[in-house]
Chain A
């Protein structure tokens, strides 16, 4: 940020600083406080000691496996999204009409949201939908396809809603790298592969890590897709479903908060691991070498 630095005036109070109070108060009241309240509540279960909720979670058979089930969905989805977004965004790094069209089109699934995508998938990917008919017509697959109301449906929906996000984010990082660096590398003898490996990739590493974290966090919190497109009783019983049920079906807010805390904690763990890996990579800015 390039704001003017105050020369520490202690006596005249800068009234401009007051402008930030409403937002700060709002955040503290409606974001930090509920979080702390929920944290406290999670240690105050209906029965059992202060760890009662957590013990209950990890010993109940329809609760603790939700972590693994959610990871089984979120990690592959994120790997697919980021893994495909990187080469495609890299190929499209030059500003062109093509790039503009693609970015505009890709914004549509994000805007429509997970609920509409779920409904669309139920119709299109369903056993009687166009995709099934298409595959049967060309004898690529016999019988109706099973891509809804199971694991695959949820995974596909995570890709549909997650890939555009990862793509647009990585694209914004790539276009932020000064192309003159690649040109300089080419005059020094670096071909296209060497340019990617020695120039773009190291400069992208921090952004890629960030993108992975954001995409993972988004995928890990999957909820409506898991209910509508999966089978929430079994194979796609993700952790958010468990939290929701605790809150709104069992009215056990304490347990629900505990599950939400666990959910946040797992996300934090993975994010910390990825960011830790990133710090091993790089330590500088991404613009060209102006001092």
Chain B
């Protein structure tokens, strides 16, 4: 006898949990099914060597909305931040690290231009933040609510003032390389700023649409408010655990170690799921937090969809280019030009935009970059519990590593590691000698470990054609799949990934507002 639920959520990633929690808060009986043994999806703490732990995928919070922490009472359920408002420094092999919040050593023109430029971009980021906090309206505009949402959006754009509006429309589709070149001269500063615009995606600074992805990043930071860039005590898994506890407290049933094999349908409506062990569970609706292709092509199956939809789903781009490096170190490394405060924050190795572009170029041909660009965090400085006493963990995002490592993946991995260490040694001489343990997750490893299609952090590229109204697919009823009763709540939906839970919460709202709400 199977129990009947109002909703089954597939995948206990943070978006799945956020969606489940909002549904439960509205009085719905919700079951969350997770294939792995722990909740969190890609937001987990991972033990990569005896005594050494690290945040498995994303390692810092930069976009977690304050509203989510408050609405869900995450602090009450154990969420503690080991560090808040962490600074970002761009490393230089031959001089002091550049603090992005207050760069020193700029020429007079840059010194004068940087502040106003940053402020203007943050203003535009605020507008994008409004998009992130909104469920995209349907383009058909047949319903008054949708027309009103579009009008409000237009009004907000207009209220920025005529010149700001014109400027946003001018730069919105540009690449970040040209935009930064137009405004600043300092190569290390531009390299660091461009790094954020290219992080996680399949683009170098000269790729079109990178101003949008930068604004997306700035928008997320605004949502995070005063906490800014922060680190979760106990690693990202502690955040997911708190979210899981909040769910359980609200009556959500979470079952781990239960892989969904199929989404079941009856009379052209989703009616439940079949697990890998053959067990069938019924529910009024099914909500999938897993990727678009996996949900629609594997769990549901192309024959249940129309050809045009299948075509668009198959063309949804999800090619991650970020690898994750985890090092267990016998002692704290010394980075040239980085003081104690800088080491506790985020360190970037992206000395110029050309460096970044050159790190990107080989990925287009499934090759390894000679000089990868890195984002480094040493989480044990803020949270010593992640390593044995006196030892440290270094966690780094490595750009740009192709999903397909070519004909000889083992050789490519060895070469990649060698290239990463040669870059690290340049900025932290002697670091190699401190390494006790080393783990490298390439995008294909990330896909396998965390179930992220293509190893892409957002479950799919963030670019104009896959953003807002076009996410996940153009002419698609956002969050509602083409099959009645099947919904989507993962990062493949607007507004995409980053640990912010908005896709899950928007999905829950759409479900509760729909005419067929359970």
Partners in one complex: no
Q: Which residues of B contact A (CB under 8 A)?
A: none
